Amino acid sequence: MPVQLLQSQFEALEEPREAVIVDISYTPEEIIKIIRKGIVV
């Protein structure tokens, strides 16, 4: 992808409606627990 297109790609991004948001300061194990709680299977 040409570098010139990068800004327009970011501008076109939409925030997801049902995202699982995780703070990356947690340990990998804690992140997995948070993600599993946030996903409805």
Q: pLDDT digit string (tens) for 1-41? A: 677 889 899 899 998 888 888 999 999 999 999 899 888 65
Cβ-contact 39, 20 below 8 angstroms = yes
Q: What is the pLDDT of residue 26?
A: 95
What is the distance between the alpha carbons of residues 8 and 24, in angstroms, rounded to a whole number?
27
Q: What is the pLDDT of residue 1?
A: 66
Domain ranges of the chain: 17-41
Q: What is the pLDDT of residue 12?
A: 92
What is the distance between the alpha carbons of residues 37 and 16, in angstroms, rounded to a whole number?
18
